[in-house]
A and B are shown apart, each in its own frame.
Chain A
Amino acid sequence: MLASMKSNSKGMAGGLIALQSITDTTNQAKKIVSLFKESVEPLTELGGMLVEAVNNELGSISTINASNEAEKSAKILAL
């Protein structure tokens, strides 16, 4: 799962969803701490990549001509 977070975008999304589900259902302190220790680095890296990707996408939206609402909406839906 953690390895997949470092792979291509589909694997990354899959790994992240799996991690979210596990953190939703795991309640044992030991398990959650070890999971955090193992995943914090790839999670931080992924967070940075997501911020960059969203900023790039928003940058391209802001340059779309104001009259082209359909294109804007399509880009926002894709976020």
Chain B
Amino acid sequence: MRVWADTIKNFVIKFNEKAGTLLEEVIDKKGLMIVFINILCIYLKTDMQVKECYISTSGLERLDTLLNEIKIKIMRCLNILTIFMFDVRSFVPIRDSKCYELMPTLLPLVVSTMINFCRAPNIDLIKVLDVMPDLVPR
């Protein structure tokens, strides 16, 4: 699955680098978008796994690292596609694209992930983020 995600990421990044409208090839592929969403929804059911959160927090470190690496690649692709749809090609009728059609499925998933991950009592956010140590209250 890692190789699969790498291959798709290569296509999306190269289409994006070439500018123009090459990414239209991708945003119209509904099957591909569904696989993206299904990958984000993969998780191992454990007590540690935060509910309604696509970040893998199963507590099995190797599995979490592997799954989250893949999910980050998928999120990078989706980020590029979203920027393309709303910023770069805002004058094209994107509402007809399959990627746009799936936004109502994807966006609530992203929002609930952020909220549930940040609220999870078993997640040490300071440790996870490991950024801006000066802003962390002591």
Minimal Cβ-Cβ distance residue in A for B13: A23
Write the B18-36 contact mask toward A (1 if CB under 8 angstroms, else 0). 1010100110010110110
- From A20, A33, A45, B6 is in contact (CB under 8 Å) with A20
Say what secondary structure dominates the interface of chain A: helix
When the two chains form their complex, are residues A19 and B25 in contact, meaning their CB atoms are under 8 A apart? no
When the two chains form their complex, are residues A77 and B42 in contact, meaning their CB atoms are under 8 A apart? no
A78–B38 Cα distance when bound, in Å, is 21
When the two chains form their complex, are residues B44 and A33 in contact, meaning their CB atoms are under 8 A apart? no
When the two chains form their complex, are residues A79 and B63 in contact, meaning their CB atoms are under 8 A apart? yes
When the two chains form their complex, are residues A47 and B63 in contact, meaning their CB atoms are under 8 A apart? no
- From B1, B6, B25, B62, A36 is in contact (CB under 8 Å) with B25
When the two chains form their complex, are residues B39 and A76 in contact, meaning their CB atoms are under 8 A apart? no
A residues at B contact (CB < 8 Å): 13, 16-17, 19-20, 23-24, 26-27, 29, 32-33, 35-37, 40-41, 43-48, 50-51, 54-55, 58, 61-62, 72-73, 76-77, 79
Q: A36-B25, A62-B44 are in contact. List 15 more A-B contacts (CB 8 A).
A: A13-B3, A23-B14, A36-B26, A43-B7, A47-B4, A47-B32, A50-B1, A51-B38, A54-B1, A58-B42, A58-B43, A72-B60, A76-B60, A77-B62, A79-B63
